[in-house]
Amino acid sequence: MISQLIETPLCWVMVVTAWFTYQSIFISLGKQRRDSMDTQDSASNEMIPNVLVGALPLMGLLGTISGLQLSFTGMMSQGIDSQLVTKGIADALFTTQLGLVLAIPGWLLMALANRKRSPSLLQNRQGA
Amino acid sequence: MVTRTSSFLLSGLVLAFALGTMWLGQLLAESSDTTVIVRNVDMLVTTPPPPPPVSQSSQTDPTLDIQVKGAGAQLMVSEIVVSPTLDIDIPTMPEIDTTFLQWSLSDIDTSAFALNELDSTPILLTPIKVHFPKRLKKQGVSKVLVKLDVLIDEQGNVELVDIVENPHHELNKEIVRFVKNSRFTSPSKEDAAVKARFIWPVLIEA
ipTM: 0.71
Higher pLDDT, A40 or B158: B158
Mean pLDDT lowest among A32-46, B45-59, B148-162: A32-46
Inter-chain residue contact A105 with B7, CB threshold 8 Å: no
| Confidence band for A74, pLDDT divided at 50, 70 and 90 | confident
| Confidence band for A39, pLDDT divided at 50, 70 and 90 | low
Q: Which of residues 15-54 of B touch A (CB under 8 A)?
A: 15, 17-19, 21-23, 26
Give me the pLDDT at residue A62, please: 92
Give me the pLDDT at residue B32, please: 67
Inter-chain residue contact B15 with A1, CB threshold 8 Å: no
Please list, in sequence order, all residues whose beta carbon lies within 8 angstroms of the beta carbon of residue B157, skipping any fewer than 6 positions away: B183
For chain A, report the end-to-end CA distance as a whole number of angstroms.
54
CA distance, residue A71 to nearest chain B CA (Å): 22
Q: Which residues of B touch A105 (CB under 8 A)?
A: 14-15, 17-18
pLDDT at B28 over 80: yes
Give me the pLDDT at residue B164, please: 85
pLDDT at A122 over 60: no
Give me the pLDDT at residue A103, please: 92
Quick one: which H or E segment has residue A87?
helix A83-127
Please state the rounded mean pLDDT for residues A17-25.
Answer: 89
Q: Name the residue among B134, B152, B157, B144 with its Cα closest to residue B195.
A: B152
Minimum-distance CB partner of B10 among A1, A26, A104 = A26
pLDDT at A13 over 80: yes
For chain B, report the end-to-end CA distance as a whole number of angstroms.
88
Our measurement of the distance from residue B123's CA atom to the centroid of its chain's CA atoms, rounded to an integer in Å, reads 46
Give me the pLDDT at residue B192, please: 83
DSSP code string of A55-74? HHHHHHHHHHHHHHHHHHHH
**Superfamily, domain B110-205:** TonB (3.30.2420.10)
Our measurement of the distance from residue B145's CA atom to the centroid of its chain's CA atoms, rounded to an integer in Å, reads 31
Give me the pLDDT at residue A34, please: 66
Give me the pLDDT at residue A128, please: 43
Q: Using DSSP, state whether B166 is helix, strand or coil.
A: coil
pLDDT at A53 over 70: yes
Mean pLDDT lowest among A2-11, B96-105, B156-165, B171-180: B96-105
Give me the pLDDT at residue A58, please: 93
% of chain B beyond a pLDDT of 90: 0
Q: Which residues of A touch B24 (CB under 8 A)?
A: none
What mean pLDDT, rounded, does chain B reach?
A: 80
Give me the pLDDT at residue B11, please: 86
CA distance, residue B38 to nearest chain A CA (Å): 30
Give me the pLDDT at residue B65, please: 77
pLDDT at A43 over 70: no
Give me the pLDDT at residue B186, please: 83
pLDDT 10s digits, B75-125: 888 888 887 777 888 888 888 777 766 666 555 555 678 888 888 888 888
pLDDT 10s digits, A91-120: 888 889 899 999 999 999 888 888 877 665
Domain boundaries, chain B: 110-205
Give me the pLDDT at residue B43, please: 87
Give me the pLDDT at residue A83, please: 78
The C-alpha atoms of residue A9 and residue A71 are separated, in whole angstroms, by: 17
